[in-house]
Amino acid sequence: MSVDEETARRRYNRDMVLGFIAYGALLVPCLFIIDANPDAGWRYALAPLPMIPAVFMVMAYVRYYRTADELQQRIALESLAFAFGGTFLVTFTYGFLDHAGLPRINWWFVWPVMSTLWIIGGFLARKRWL
Amino acid sequence: MTNTLRELRAERGWTQADLSEELGVSRQTVNAIETGKYDPSLPLAFRIAALFDRPIEAIFHPDA
């Protein structure tokens, strides 16, 4: 690992840890307050607040891959392409099954599906190139 | 494509980590180039050639 890459990796890890801490710190009180005020109109403004630190985590992810070298970028692209296509196949397949009568699944499942496919895609891309 | 990167690196007594630092890429990328799993871009190939003070075609060879 080159010095620049190590610095970029350290910054990425730091930003992710801080993002997770901020996410957790906002998530718990937001859920508690919303559950305690089920009829309040402002709950829709409060509900997505934990996503603010998530925006910074996404920015950290993009910034890290901008500084990554060409092979790492290729591996990232292949794993994301795998996850993008796979998520389309999984979500649309289930959408048709939902239409046919299977129970409706929460939107929260989309990201775990995509990140699982991203991990599998990353494993396959690394196996191919490294 | 084949290359003589490993031999050139060995001549200088460098580890893959040393070379990766010189080139500004990861050690895994150096290893992937040396093992022929990955062919570098033209800009990176030029950086390698400049580092070892040789023309690109003296380091990288098309497959026979």
Q: What is the pLDDT of residues A6-54, one digit of tens each?
A: 788 899 999 999 999 999 999 999 999 999 999 999 999 999 999 999 9
User: Which residue of chain B comes nearest to A71, CA vs CA?
Assistant: B29
Is A41 found in the same domain as A73? no
Is A78 found in the same domain as A64? no
Please give the average per-residue pLDDT across A64-77, as a whole number.
Answer: 94
Is A57 found in the same domain as A7? yes
Is A86 found in the same domain as A44? no
Is A62 found in the same domain as A75? no
Cβ-contact B39, B48 below 8 angstroms: no
Please give the average per-residue pLDDT across A114-128, as a whole number.
Answer: 97
Helices vs. strands in chain B: H and E counts, helices first: 5, 2
Question: Buried b / exposed e across B11-48, counting CB within 10 Å, b at 16+?
Answer: eeebebeebbbbbebbbbbbbbbbeeebebeeebbebb
Q: Is the pLDDT of residue A1 over 60?
A: no
Is A55 found in the same domain as A78? no
User: Which residue of chain B comes nearest to A128, CA vs CA?
Assistant: B37
Is A80 found in the same domain as A61? no
Q: Does B56 touch chain A (CB under 8 A)?
A: no
**Chain A residues closer than 8 Å to B40 by CB:** 70
Is A78 found in the same domain as A43? no
Closest Cα in chain A, distance from residue B25 (Å): 5
Q: For chain A, what is the domain count?
A: 2
**Chain A residues closer than 8 Å to B25 by CB:** 2, 5, 69-71
What percent of chain B has pLDDT above 90?
97
Is A116 found in the same domain as A81? yes
Is A129 found in the same domain as A76? yes
Cβ-contact A130, A122 below 8 angstroms: no
Q: Does B28 touch chain A (CB under 8 A)?
A: yes
Is A6 found in the same domain as A58? yes
Closest Cα in chain A, distance from residue B38 (Å): 6
Domain that includes residue A21, residue range: 1-68
Cβ-contact A81, A119 below 8 angstroms: no
**Measured torsion, CA atoms of residues A40, A42, A44, A45, in degrees rounded to the nearest 10:** -160
What does the pLDDT look like over A90-103, one tens digit per residue?
Answer: 999 999 999 999 99
What does the pLDDT look like over B18-59, one tens digit per residue?
Answer: 999 999 999 999 999 999 999 999 999 999 999 999 999 999
Q: Which of A68, A85, A111 represents a domain boundary (last residue)?
A: A68
What is the rounded average pLDDT for all residues in chain A? 94
Q: What is the pLDDT of residue A3?
A: 54
Across the interface, whether the CB atoms of B23 and A2 are under 8 A apart is answered: yes
User: Which residue of chain A comes nearest to B15, CA vs CA?
Assistant: A1
Is A75 found in the same domain as A56? no
Dihedral pair phi/psi, residue A124, rounded to 5°? -65, -40
Closest Cα in chain B, distance from residue A8 (Å): 12
**Chain B residues closer than 8 Å to A129 by CB:** 32, 37-38
Q: Which of A46, A68, A90 represents a domain boundary (last residue)?
A: A68
Q: Domains in chain B, ordered, with CATH?
A: 2-52 (1.10.260.40)
Q: Are strands B2-3 and B60-61 parallel, antiparallel or unpaired?
A: antiparallel
What is the number of residues in chain B? Answer: 64
